[in-house]
Structure 1
C-alpha cells in the first residue's frame, strides 16, 4: 500500500481531534473501499443571525473532521432567503469562525450558484420532474393530504413541459406577484414522508438580496439549493443535525436525478445526521435570540449574556475553551441537552493557568487603618502560593511555589482601603469568617486587622470601618481581599450570569410544525413563552476599584479577581480613562445548590457528576509548573526587554513562540508579546502562521500611534492569517484608519443622540454614567474606527 492510497488518510486513534463516532466509521469505510479519495466537508450556516454555541459544536465537527482526515472544509453561507439575511450576519459568522481558529479561506455562498441552480431547475422541468404550481399556499398544504390519506394531485400537476418552461421563465422575469406561482418537484403524493409529496423548489419573492440586489425575484428553497451546492463544491460527507433526517430523501432524490454517479463519473455527496446539542439555561433558536435583541432584554447580539460566539468573545471567553468544550460533548444519533456546567468548567480550566491573580472590590466599603502612618508598597505574587479546593487551601509544591513567587506586582497599602461590603457583618451568621465588630481578619498580603469602630449611615448601614493593623502573631479566621481607596483605579464591573432561571426555558409544550421548511432553527414553536424565565439578575452592574497594577497591562489581559471570578476589560465600552470589566465566569458553580433545592436529586445526573469531577481536578491542579533553567533564562531575557511577567512565562514555556517574537531583533518586544501570546499562539504552534513578525510589528505600530483601534487590528490580523496579505496593506485597502475628522464624528454622534432621545434626557438630568453608552454607540456606528479621545471631547460638548 502506497502513501497515495485513500485508506492511508485514516487517522490513528491517538491523533484524532474528533472522538470516533458513527460518522467517522462511515468515512473510514468510504476511504478503505475507495468510494472517496479525499474528505471534503462543509459548514453551511444561514446568515439570518449570529452564530451561537450550537454552531461552535457543529463547526468543530465539520472542520476538525476534515483536519483529522487531511481533507478540507468549506464555509458556505446558505443564503437562499433574502428576507432576514444581511451582510452584517454573514460578516459576523465569518469573523466568529476565524476567531474559533477555523480556516475560512474556502468561503462560498449559495447565492453564487443562483444561475446554476436555475439551470438545474430547468433540467428537472425538461425531464418532466418539476412543474409550475398555481394554487395558493393554503390549498397546496391541503392537497398534500394527511398521515392517513395520500395527497391529491393539483390541477396544474400535468402541465406540459413547454408550458412549465414558459411559466418558469416568466416567473424569473418578474411578471407575477408573490405567491402567485411556485415550482414544485414531481415526486410522490402518496409517500409517507411529507417531504417527498411534491416539495416546493422555487418561490416568487420580490425582495432585495444582500449580495445579488434585485437581480432575482425567484429564490430557491433550502432543500433544493443545499444539496446541489454540496455537489457543485465536491462535498463528500454532508453532516447536519437530526431534524434534517426527513429532508435527506429530497437530498438523495436530487442527487439521483441531477448528479448520477454513472453519468458524471463522480461520487455524489451523501447526508448524515447527528444529534443536535442544546444547552441548559439558554436558547439557541435564532428566532428567539432575535426576540431577545428586539425586545431589549439584551443589548445586542454580542451582549455577554447571549450564547452567541460574538458574545463569548466580548465576554472574554477564549477560543481554546470553546473548542475544548466542543470536543468534549461527543457525537451521537440522538439529540441531547448539555449541562451548562460542562461549558463553564471548560472556561475555568482554560483561565486557571492563563489568568494572573489580582484584587478588585466590586461593592466597596471604606476601611481606615488608624495606626498606619505612611503608605507601604507590597510585592504580591500574580500566582499565589495556594490554590482553592473544596476543603480549603492546598499549598503548592516547593518548585511551583518558587516559580510563582518570581511573578509579582507592586500593590500600595494606604491608610484608606475598601473591602467588599459583604465581607463585614454587624450581626454575623454562624460560621462567618470575615470581619465583625471587634473581630479580626487577614487582609490578603497585608496582615491582620481588628475592627474597632463602625460608622453607620442614617439607615443603619455601615459606611466606614475603623481598624487597627495587628502583628502577625494575632489570630484571624479568614482572609479577604482589598484595594487602596486612594490609589486604586475606578472601574465598572458587569457581573454576568446565566440568562434564564430554569435549565430548559423553552421546553414546555414545545411543538413543531412538520411542514415548516428551512434551517434547523426555523421550525415554528407553539405554546411556549420562554421570556417568562428570563433571569432578572443576569446582569448586575456595580462600581468599585481595582488595584493600580492593571493600568499598565494590555487591554486584552484576563484576570482572576481574587474571590470574585475571572474578568477582562469589555472591548467595546472600556477605555483607558473608564475601565469596564466583564465577569467571564465565576470561580465555581453557584447554581448547583439552586438546582438541587428546586429539584432534589437533580445534581446527581451523570453530566453533573462529570462536571463536579472536572471542577475538583481543576481546583487541585497546580497553579503553574516550574520553569526549567533554560526556560527561566528565556523568561528573564524577555522581562529585561519589557515583556510582562505573565507573557514572559508563557513565551518561555513554548520555544516556538519565543523564537517567533525574538525574530523582531529586540524591537518593540513588550508591545508584540501580548499579540503573540493571545492571537498568534495557535497558528504558530500548528505551523500554519502566515503573518511574519515584521508584519505584526507594522500592525502594532499602527495601534500604538492611534491610527487603528486594537479591536480593528484583531480583525485585520485574522484576515491576514487567512489570506496571507500583509496586515498594513489590508488596513490601507479597506480604509480602516481611525476616524478623527471632526465633521464625520459630529455627524455620527448626532445620529446616536437623535436615535436615543430618552437617554439624552436622562444624561442631561444628571445620569452622567450614560457617557459609556453613548461612546459605545458611536464606536459601533463607525465600525470601531472613531478616535476615542475625540469622541469623548465632542460628546461632552454636544451633550452639554
Structure 2
C-alpha cells in the first residue's frame, strides 16, 4: 500500500507513527490490536477504536489482532465473546485467524509477576481497599508507603505462591508494583498487579483464583503477540508510564509502544458502558439490541449499514481529544449509502379510505413502477391498482391552508405511478365528525407512463390498493436523549425523549414487501428508510424499524 498517497495521511496519529517507523524501532511488521473486555456489547465508540487500529495496520502493511481482555471472571461471559466476534465481522473488520484470549497467557503473566518480585519490584500487600485508598494520597498530596512494602523477596514469593494456591480469602491480599508513592502520576503509586477472586472463568474454569489487573496484563499480552503499537483512547494516556514501566522492568526487547487518540461521543446517544447497562437493566430500553442504543447490535437491528458506519468513523478521522460529533453526520452518510441500494415502495402509515367510483369494481390493474429512480439496475416492479385504495390521512385536508397541494374537496392530485384522481365527496362519522372516506373519480387518460402530455397537477401522493395491501407495524425512532444531558444518579426518566420510539400499528404497504427478509431495507416513499426488524418480525407479522427519515428533522424542532 502506498501510504504517501493516502488522503488521510495527514492525521496526527499516522504522521507520528510514520516518523517513528523511519527510525526502524522494530524488527517485525506493524501489528495492532483491539482488546475488548467480554463483559458487554460493542458500540459506536468501539467501532471508532476498532477502525483506528485496523486501518493503521493496513496502512503500514501489517496485521490486526482481536484479543479479549478476559481477566475478570465476575463479569465476563462467552456470549459476549461470540457477540463481539460476530459484530466485528458484520462491521467489516474481520480479524480472521488472529483471535486471541488474554486468559491463555495466564502462566506467562504469572511468571512475569514472579520476575518482578525477584527484582524487588513487586510485593504482597495486606491493606484493605479502603486503607489502600487512604494511603494513595490525592492529586495535591503524595501517598504513603504501605506497611507491607518492605517485605523480603522470599516472603513475597511465598505469599504470592500461596495466593495462587488459594490459601487466602478473596480480596485479603494483592500483589502491588513497587514504584513511587510520591509520583505526581497517581497511576504509578504502587498500582495493584494481581488480586484474589474465587469465581469460575468462562475459559479456564477454576484453574486460577488470582487474576492480573488490566494495566499489568495488557503490555505483557502485547509483547507476547508481537504488537508494535497499542493504540488506545485518550483516557489511557496517564497509564502509558505504567505500560512502559512493566515492559522495561521485564526487559522486553523491542517493546510495543502505546499511543493515544481521542474518545468519540455522539449527540443524542449514550456511549458509556456503565450508563448503557443502567438503561438496559433499568428497563428503559428493550435490551442491548434496542434500536435506540448505539450498540452495534442496536444499530444493526435498526438498519444501519456497515458501510455507513465505516464511512462515518473514516470521516471523523483521528482526533486528539474527547470529541462529540453530531449524529446527523452518521445519518447523512447512511442516506448516501442507502439512496442507490434500496427499492422505493409505497407505505401508508395513517390510512384514509378512498373509493374511486368510476373505476370498474372488482377489477385489478398491474402498474409498472421503477424500484429506484437513481439506479436503473434495480429494475421495476408491478403494483396492483383497484377501485378502493388507501392514502395518507395527512394527504387530505377538507379546509386546505395556503400552500397545501395535495388532495382537497373538488381538488385533483396524481397518484404516484397511476392516475389523476379528483375528490368529489367527503364521508364523515356522524358522531365524531371525523373524515372516514373519500369518494373520488379518476381520469383514465392520465395513466403514468402512457406518454400523456395533458394537464398538470401540483401534488403527487402515494397509495396502496385496499385488497392487496400488507399490514405491518412501524416503529419510528428519534434520539434517545432530549438534550444530550446525562442524569444525576440513575434518574433517566428526566432526560429521556418520550417520543424516542413511536409505534404505528397496522400500517398498509404494497405487496412487494410481503416476502421481505430480516434486515432487508427499503425506502418508504416520503417516510424515510426502513428495515425489517430482526427480533419482532414473525411469519404472520412484519415489523419495520425506521432507520432514518429522508431529511434530518431533529435540529428543526
- Which bracket does the TM-score occupy, shorter chain normalised? over 0.9
For 2:513, the equivalent position in structure 1 comes to 550
* More off after superposition, 479-488 vs 455-464: 455-464
**Offset from partner CA, 1:3-62 (integer Å, 9 cap, x none):** xxxxxx762324x6x543222123212332221241100011111111001111111111
Q: What secondary structure does 2:404 align onto?
A: coil
Matched-pair contact (CA < 8 Å) for 2:480–2:500: yes
* TM-score scaled by length of structure 2: 0.93
1:231 aligns with 2:217: no
Choose which of 45, 53, 61 in structure 1 pairs with 2:52. Answer: 61
Q: In 2, distance between residues paired with 1:376 and 1:260? A: 77
Instruction: After TM superposition, give the deviation of residue 529 of structure 1 in Å.
Output: 4.7
For 1:736, the equivalent position in structure 2 comes to none
Q: In 1, distance between residues paired with 2:130 and 2:41? A: 32
**Offset from partner CA, 1:734-753 (integer Å, 9 cap, x none):** xxxxxxxxxxxxxxxxxxxx
For 1:486, the equivalent position in structure 2 comes to 467
Instruction: After TM superposition, give the deviation of residue 474 of structure 1 in Å.
Output: 5.3
Q: In 2, distance between residues paired with 1:377 and 1:579? A: 24
Q: In 2, distance between residues paired with 1:553 and 1:207? A: 45
Structural mapping, 1:87-102, within 5 Å: 87-102=78-93
For 2:20, the equivalent position in structure 1 comes to 30
For 2:479, the equivalent position in structure 1 comes to 498
Matched-pair contact (CA < 8 Å) for 2:396–2:408: yes
Question: Cα RMSD (Å) of the superposition?
Answer: 1.9
Q: In 1, distance between residues paired with 2:202 and 2:420? A: 64
For 2:451, the equivalent position in structure 1 comes to none
Instruction: After TM superposition, give the deviation of residue 301 of structure 1 in Å.
Output: 1.0
1:309 aligns with 2:272: no
Instruction: After TM superposition, give the deviation of residue 352 of structure 1 in Å.
Output: 0.4
Structural mapping, 1:216-365, within 5 Å: 216-261=208-253, 267-365=254-352
Structural mapping, 1:420-569, within 5 Å: 420-457=392-429, 458-470=431-443, 472=446, 473=454, 475-502=456-483, 504-506=484-486, 529-542=491-504, 543-552=506-515, 555-569=518-532
Matched-pair contact (CA < 8 Å) for 1:357–1:561: yes
Matched-pair contact (CA < 8 Å) for 1:151–1:190: yes
Matched-pair contact (CA < 8 Å) for 2:32–2:54: yes
* More off after superposition, 50-59 vs 210-219: 210-219
Structural mapping, 1:78-117, within 5 Å: 78-104=69-95, 105-117=97-109
Matched-pair contact (CA < 8 Å) for 1:47–1:89: yes
Matched-pair contact (CA < 8 Å) for 1:274–1:333: yes
Structural mapping, 1:321-720, within 5 Å: 321-373=308-360, 374-384=363-373, 403=376, 407-457=379-429, 458-470=431-443, 472=446, 473=454, 475-502=456-483, 504-506=484-486, 529-542=491-504, 543-552=506-515, 555-594=518-557
Instruction: After TM superposition, give the deviation of residue 477 of structure 1 in Å.
Output: 2.6
Matched-pair contact (CA < 8 Å) for 1:381–1:409: yes
Structural mapping, 1:5-154, within 5 Å: 11-14=3-6, 18-36=8-26, 37-104=28-95, 105-154=97-146
Q: In 2, distance between residues paired with 1:494 and 1:342? A: 22
Matched-pair contact (CA < 8 Å) for 2:340–2:372: no
Q: What secondary structure does 2:238 align onto?
A: coil
**Offset from partner CA, 1:520-570 (integer Å, 9 cap, x none):** xxxxxx757555221211221212111112235555532111101111212
**Offset from partner CA, 1:606-660 (integer Å, 9 cap, x none):** xxxxxxxxxxxxxxxxxxxxxxxxxxxxxxxxxxxxxxxxxxxxxxxxxxxxxxx
Matched-pair contact (CA < 8 Å) for 1:367–1:465: yes
Matched-pair contact (CA < 8 Å) for 1:82–1:208: yes
For 1:676, the equivalent position in structure 2 comes to none
Larger relative contact order (Cα-Cα within 8 Å, sequence gap ≥ 6): 2
Q: What secondary structure does 2:61 align onto?
A: coil
In terms of fraction of residues, the more helix-rich structure is 1
Instruction: After TM superposition, give the deviation of residue 586 of structure 1 in Å.
Output: 0.9
Instruction: After TM superposition, give the deviation of residue 505 of structure 1 in Å.
Output: 2.5
Query: How many aligned residue pairs are there?
Result: 543
Q: What secondary structure does 2:199 align onto?
A: coil
**Offset from partner CA, 1:249-306 (integer Å, 9 cap, x none):** 1101001101343xxxxx1001101111100000111111111111222211112111
Q: In 1, distance between residues paired with 2:401 and 2:173? A: 73
Q: In 1, distance between residues paired with 2:156 and 2:74? A: 26
Q: What secondary structure does 2:81 align onto?
A: helix
Q: In 2, distance between residues paired with 1:290 and 1:217? A: 27
Q: In 2, distance between residues paired with 1:567 and 1:72? A: 36
Q: Spell out structure 1 runs of 4+ moving beyond 6 A.
A: none
Gaps of 5+ in 1: 1-8, 262-266, 386-399, 509-525, 595-800
* More off after superposition, 436-445 vs 314-323: 436-445
In terms of fraction of residues, the more strand-rich structure is 2
Q: In 1, distance between residues paired with 2:371 and 2:319? A: 42
Q: In 1, distance between residues paired with 2:274 and 2:94? A: 28
Q: In 1, distance between residues paired with 2:435 and 2:203? A: 61
Gaps of 5+ in 2: 447-453
1:156 aligns with 2:148: yes
Matched-pair contact (CA < 8 Å) for 1:505–1:530: no
Q: In 1, distance between residues paired with 2:356 and 2:76? A: 60
Q: In 2, distance between residues paired with 1:296 and 1:183? A: 39
* TM-score scaled by length of structure 1: 0.66
Q: In 1, distance between residues paired with 2:405 and 2:43? A: 41
Q: What secondary structure does 1:435 align onto?
A: coil
Q: In 1, distance between residues paired with 2:162 and 2:191? A: 21
Structural mapping, 1:773-784, within 5 Å: none
Instruction: After TM superposition, give the deviation of residue 576 of structure 1 in Å.
Output: 4.3
